[in-house]
Amino acid sequence: MFVITRNSLLCWVLVGGLLSGCGSDEANAGVSRAEVVANYSANLYAAYSDSVLDEQAFQNEVSAFLAEPNENTLANVRASWLASRAHYMLTEGARFYDGPIDGPIDGGQSNHEALLNSWPLDEAFIDYAALDDGVVNEDLGIVNMPEKLPEITAEGLDSLNGENAEPENVSSGYHAVEFLLWGQALEDVGPGKRPATDYLIDGPSKNPDRRADYLNVATEGIISHLKDVRDAWQPSADYRVGFEKNVEQSLTHIFTGLATFSKGELGSQRIGAAYGSKNRHDQHDCFSSETLVDYERDARGVQAMYLGSYGDHDGPGLDDLVKAADPKLDADLKQKLQASIDAIVAIPKPFEDAIAGDDDSPGRKAIQAALTALYEQGDTFGAAAAAIGITITVDDPEE
């Protein structure tokens, strides 16, 4: 779970009725605010739909791997895991407005994002783990404790987590699956080295069947949560209908999500915290060591949401509205969106190597540049929102 912070010196932008006509219907080849919101919704629905398909394709690879666990099939299913996040990461700019992805489920404290993508992961709740001296304790985790849960099922895991009825379910989602495929990343640099034989019946590891069950259940759980989010965005769904109807509020939501995700989440929490701690484990995708792939996808997703594009489709976007109100500002924001992508791409891989060392090392300089770019991008989203008469707040920890 990633909570946003904001500074007391908020970028308060009071525009209200003064400018609200600027970006409206007659501007820019007839692109209306309602069309922008509708296109955003359609793109998001498409992205979540693709995310479900991605995960189902991944599930097939899991089955193939479990049918014949060896290093080749393991390499295949790992590649498929990385691919399975390609579309999901593009959706992350649609957070922080209590929408379907991270709004409370049934009024409770949990939300789909927390169950899909939370980090860190409670590894030793799931499976064996290495102690500080490197010695592995094979008896840890649900996988190795049949007495705690005789049969590993979704319901069984829910009930165990239910014992600790808290929002921080840290034993499910993408990173649980990542852990089950790669294992712990114990070296300073590089991915975990879980052997395929962990899943081999009568192989050297304990409880291969239960480990396989956990992998299957975790994968199925991801599909289930993604479907719920996808369905909330389908054209006839209540949430989608309301979202398209309340155009002004939805524009506020969209800008809030983009600004907060750029600055508070991808910038401050995902990159900035690791930059500050220099700890490799303050990164997403620690097990696979593929963090920078996902950070780039995140940044591209934000860019696409501003442009109203998804894949080959380029529909009415926020850019059309901003351009009509203030062409220079639109150009500036587009430049910043590309600059932050370029800055992330320029970080030398792997991320855990780049965060180490002195502040004038190439890796840390590149990360600092990406942070600066993301912070500027977040602030510019605030200005762009103001230009079309939308008031949002953007955090500003450096003021």
Task: Please state, in angstroms and rounded to a whole number, the distance separating the CA atoms of residues 104 and 116.
Answer: 14
Nearer to other proteins, 230 or 263 (CB): 263
Which residue lies nearer to other proteins by CB, 122 or 220? 122
367 conformational bin, left if phi > 0, alpha if psi -120 to 50, beta if neither: alpha
CB of 362 to other proteins, least distance (A): 20
Q: Does 315 bind other proteins (CB under 8 A)?
A: no
Instruction: Find the part of the chain contacting other proteins (CB under 8 A) among 17-25, 38-46, 183-191, 233-241.
Output: 183-191
Helices 71-84 and 174-182: crossing angle in degrees, nearest 10, is: 160
Q: Which of 213, 305, 220 is nearest to 257 (CA)?
A: 305
CA–CA dist 269, 173 (Å, integer)? 19
In the complex, least distance from residue 311 CB atom to other proteins, rounded to whole angstroms: 33
User: What would you report as the CA-atom Rg of the chain, rounded to the nearest whole angstrom?
Assistant: 22
Q: Which of 20, 70, 269, 368 binds other proteins (CB under 8 A)?
A: 269
According to the binding rule CB under 8 A, does residue 12 interact with other proteins? yes
In 70-164, where do the E strands start and end? 129-130, 136-137
Q: Which of 138, 168, 231, 342 is close enough to bind other proteins by CB under 8 A? A: 168
202 lies in the binding site for other proteins (CB under 8 A): no
List beta partners, residue 137: 129
- What minimum distance in Å lies between the beta carbon of 354 and other proteins? 17
Asked if residue 329 binds other proteins (CB under 8 A), the reply is no
Q: Do residues 203 and 146 make contact, with C-beta atoms less than 8 angstroms apart? A: no
Task: Tell me which of 273, 329, 356, 366 binds other proteins, using CB under 8 A.
Answer: 273
Residue of 125, 233, 295, 306 that binds other proteins (CB under 8 A)? 125
Compare residues 80 and 118 and give the one whose CB is closer to other proteins: 118
Q: Does the protein bind other proteins through residue 9 (CB under 8 A)?
A: yes
- Exactly one of 164, 242, 245, 357 binds other proteins (CB under 8 A); that residue is 164
Q: By CB under 8 A, tell whether 60 contacts other proteins.
A: no
7 binds other proteins (CB under 8 A): yes
CA distances 181 to 104, 177, 195, 212, 216, Å, are: 30, 6, 9, 10, 12
The CA distance from 88 to 275, in Å, is: 25
Q: List Cα–Cα distances, 26 to 21, 29, 237, in angstroms.
A: 9, 7, 29
If one asks whether residue 295 binds other proteins (CB under 8 A), the answer comes out as no
Could you tell me the smallest distance in angstroms from the CB atom of residue 291 to other proteins? 13
Picking from 199, 71, 205, 75, the residue whose alpha carbon sits closest to that of residue 136 is 205
- For position 195 contacting other proteins by CB under 8 A, the verdict is no
Q: Say if CB 90 and CB 300 are below 8 A apart.
A: yes
Dist CA 149 CA 265 (whole Å): 36
Among 279, 311, 348, 357, the residue binding other proteins under the rule CB under 8 A is 279
**Closest separation in Å from C-beta 231 to other proteins:** 22
Closest separation in Å from C-beta 285 to other proteins: 11
C-beta closer to other proteins: residue 65 or 119: 119
Q: Does 277 bind other proteins (CB under 8 A)?
A: yes
Quickly tell me which residue has 């165990």 as its tokens.
160
Strand, helix or coil at 359?
coil
| CA pair distance 237, 251, nearest whole angstrom | 19
- 176 DSSP 8-state letter: H
Q: Is residue 166 at the binding interface for other proteins, with CB under 8 A as the rule? A: yes
Between 79 and 118, how does the x/- string for binding to other proteins read (CB under 8 A)? ---------------------------xxxx--------x
CB 94 within 8 A of CB 251: no
Shortest distance in whole angstroms from residue 134 CB to other proteins: 10
Tell how far CA 35 is from the center of its chain.
26
Q: Which residues bind other proteins (CB under 8 A)?
A: 1-10, 12, 106-109, 118-125, 129-132, 137, 140-142, 145, 148, 162-168, 170, 184-186, 192, 268-269, 272-273, 276-277, 279, 281-282, 286-287, 393, 395, 397-399
